Amino acid sequence: MPQWQATNMVRVRVFGDVASHQEWVEQSGFEVSSGDEDPSRVLICTYDNQAEDPLVRLEGTITPMREAMTFVLRKEVKCVVLVTDGAGYAGSRKVPNTPSSATFVDVHGMGSLTSEVLANIAINAGAQVTVVQGNPLTQGEIRTAIIEALKQT
């Protein structure tokens, strides 16, 4: 059990593909919360579900973000960590010579970017927000960044 942690495991509510993330989150000393509990930490993992139908494809980005932001607005959340693949910044730039300007290469890119913009709802609700770009399922340094952000509160 990590030294920073009290004797009770700290709960975190995970939005997105929970099953894919539960094991590594719990191995890091957190309890993945489901449903009715009120954890003060939220982890939102957007993902590209590769669906052909644009509306179904948005279920990997917009749906988890919408559900998470509803949760943040109704509960007392202190920490939000948003994990995105950065698809909203892929492709040709809309503003020349501005490497971080938004693009909308496809529907997933639009959903990914929208998720990042909607993180402002959590900031306005008083939560500390960290946006992490990468894939925690394949990148250990991304998992570490997420855990460090969740521990800060």
Which pLDDT value is given to residue 144? 95
Which pLDDT value is given to residue 94? 53
> pLDDT by residue (tens digit) across 10-53?
899 998 888 899 999 999 999 998 776 778 999 988 777 888 88
Helices (H) and strands (E) in the chain, counts: 5, 5
Q: Which residue has the tokens 């990914």?
A: 112
Domains observed in the chain = 10-151 (3.40.50.720)
Taking the model in full, what pTM does it have? 0.77
Please state at what angle helix 62-74 crosses helix 107-124, rounded to 10 degrees: 10
> pLDDT by residue (tens digit) across 133-145?
888 988 899 999 9
> Within 10 A of 22 (CB to CB), how many other CB atoms are there?
15
Interior/surface letters 62-96, b for 16+ CB within 10 angstroms, e for the rest: bbbbeebbebbeebebebbbbbbbbbbbbeeeeee
Evaluated on CA atoms 133, 79, 50, 98, the torsion sign reads negative
Which pLDDT value is given to residue 32? 93
> pLDDT by residue (tens digit) across 56-98?
877 777 788 888 888 888 888 999 998 876 655 555 545 555 5
Which pLDDT value is given to residue 7? 45
Q: Distance (Å, rounded) from C-alpha 64 to C-alpha 27?
A: 23
